[in-house]
């Protein structure tokens, strides 16, 4: 496929080339390039090569801001949870549209993104982890832009992901676990947090999963709970949602002590309902709902937990109970696949990314190989 370059001004060049869109016959296209002749020749070579392979993207005046709104409406709204959508919307509008919104989406280059990430950290003081989240959502958005034929290439693939300093995860020692449980058990104001903590430690369930748990999901005779959904706090209110991955929907075996705590909690819940004239709880009643049976706010639970720990002068986040559960299983020598399934991770790779440093190196490898070589002889 051929094309030619014609000077239009001192630093302006017109590239003429042919395309065959969707088998509709050959059509002539013109693109104006600003810069030196050499730059125009390089751009012309790229355009002609793309056109010859059928990858040429027609010129568009759509801006980054306009595409962000289109992507949020046409893809993110129907393919992400309410919480994830709200986060994507916030990251894109506050940190991308605010700085690059007027630029045409087709003219967004890797250097522009690199400069944006540096600016977000240097001038706005945005945390490195937040900048990394910006990069990830931009990468996903531009991937769709390329798939939809809006841009020729996902510029984010040419940018190094912002580095984030590693942080230690919070894991409680056995003594700290006992201190937390004893504190919650002894305090009337924090007593309703006790069973939540006991189940979180015994199962490794996430906050939203605990708050979405129904009695119909609990089989105390079989010592098992079934995770079917999660409770999410959004701008529109509390929303029950399905797990993010197929492994998020799972069955978790219960330690005997956790079964005992849940039986006690069941009896107390029934007695309270009868005292309030509500009758026996239906099967779909929440295990950790409010007094009237309504869902308990995830954010309110976290604040309630933090206040209880502050009063007791104990450093322990609600999420540290999940980490403690995982670390205890790892220390026992349980295999990573089983741990991953129990935690509801999408794959063992995620488990290794979060907890890999806790797995002990197995020094038997050399001996195993030596035995194998000996047997081969």
CATH number of domain containing 237: 1.10.443.10
- Domain residue limits at 129: 64-158
- Residues of the chain above pLDDT 70, percent: 92
- For residue 79, the domain's CATH number is 1.10.150.130
Task: Count how many residues are written for the chain.
Answer: 377
Output the pLDDT for position 151. Answer: 86
Mean pLDDT across the chain: 87
Indicate if 313 and 200 belong to the same structural domain. yes
Domain boundary among 158, 193, 215: 158
Q: Does the residue 272 lie in any domain?
A: yes
Indicate if 185 and 313 belong to the same structural domain. yes
Give CB contacts under 8 A, 24+ apart, made by 79-82.
81/232, 81/241, 81/244, 82/232, 82/234, 82/236, 82/239, 82/241
Indicate if 315 and 195 belong to the same structural domain. yes
Mean pLDDT calculated for residue range 95-100: 95
Domains identified in the chain, total number: 3
Indicate if 194 and 311 belong to the same structural domain. yes
Name the band, by pLDDT with cuts 50, 70 and 90, for residue 18: confident
Output the pLDDT for position 56. Answer: 57
Indicate if 231 and 305 belong to the same structural domain. yes
**Residue 79 clears pLDDT 80, i.e. is over it:** yes
Q: Does the residue 347 lie in any domain?
A: no
Name the band, by pLDDT with cuts 50, 70 and 90, for residue 55: low
Indicate if 235 and 297 belong to the same structural domain. yes
Lowest mean pLDDT among 55-69, 218-232, 262-276, 320-334: 55-69
Domain boundary among 279, 302, 320: 320
Mean pLDDT calculated for residue range 316-333: 93
Greatest mean pLDDT among 141-145, 329-333, 368-372: 141-145
Indicate if 302 and 191 belong to the same structural domain. yes
Indicate if 43 and 82 belong to the same structural domain. no
Output the pLDDT for position 242. Answer: 87
Indicate if 302 and 214 belong to the same structural domain. yes
Looking at per-residue pLDDT, the higher value among 68 and 372 belongs to 68
Indicate if 247 and 289 belong to the same structural domain. yes
Indicate if 308 and 195 belong to the same structural domain. yes
**Residue 221 clears pLDDT 70, i.e. is over it:** yes
Determine contact, residues 55/152, Cβ cutoff 8 Å: yes
Q: Does the residue 328 lie in any domain?
A: no
Indicate if 78 and 143 belong to the same structural domain. yes
Lowest mean pLDDT among 105-109, 111-115, 164-168, 207-211: 164-168
Name the band, by pLDDT with cuts 50, 70 and 90, for residue 240: very high
């Amino acid at each position: 496929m051929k094309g030619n370059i014609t000077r239009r001004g001192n630093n302006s060049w017109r590239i003429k080339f042919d395309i065959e869109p969707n088998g509709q016959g050959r059509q002539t296209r013109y693109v104006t390039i600003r810069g030196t002749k050499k730059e125009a020749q390089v751009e012309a070579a790229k355009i002609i090569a793309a056109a010859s392979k059928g990858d040429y993207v027609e010129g568009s005046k759509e801006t980054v801001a306009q595409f962000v709104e289109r992507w949020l409406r046409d893809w993110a709204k129907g393919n992400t949870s309410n919480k994830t959508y709200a986060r994507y919307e916030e990251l894109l509008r506050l940190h991308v549209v605010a700085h690059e919104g007027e630029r045409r989406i087709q003219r967004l280059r890797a250097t522009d993104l690199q400069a944006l990430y540096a600016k977000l950290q240097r001038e706005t003081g945005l945390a490195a982890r937040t900048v990394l989240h910006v990069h990830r959502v931009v990468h996903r958005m531009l991937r769709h832009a390329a798939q939809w034929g809006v841009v020729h290439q996902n510029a984010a693939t040419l940018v190094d992901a912002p580095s984030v300093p590693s942080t230690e995860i919070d894991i409680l020692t056995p003594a700290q676990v006992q201190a937390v449980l004893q504190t919650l058990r002894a305090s009337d104001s924090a007593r309703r947090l006790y069973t939540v903590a006991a189940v979180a430690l015994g199962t490794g369930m996430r906050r939203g999963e605990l708050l979405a748990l129904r009695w119909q999901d609990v089989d105390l005779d079989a010592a098992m709970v079934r995770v079917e959904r999660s409770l999410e706090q959004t701008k529109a209110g509390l929303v029950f949602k399905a797990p993010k991955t197929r492994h998020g929907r799972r069955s978790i075996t219960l330690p005997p002590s956790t079964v005992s705590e849940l039986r006690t909690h069941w009896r107390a819940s029934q007695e309270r309902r009868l005292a309030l004239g509500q009758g026996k709880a239906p099967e779909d009643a929440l295990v950790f709902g409010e007094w009237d049976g309504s869902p308990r706010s995830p954010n309110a639970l976290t604040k309630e937990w933090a206040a209880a720990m502050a009063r007791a002068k104990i450093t322990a986040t609600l999420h540290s109970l999940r980490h403690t559960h995982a670390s205890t299983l790892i220390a026992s020598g349980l295999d990573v696949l089983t741990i991953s399934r129990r935690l509801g991770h999408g794959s063992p790779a995620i488990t290794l990314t979060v907890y890999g440093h806790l797995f002990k190196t197995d020094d038997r490898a050399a001996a195993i190989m030596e035995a194998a070589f000996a047997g081969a002889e």
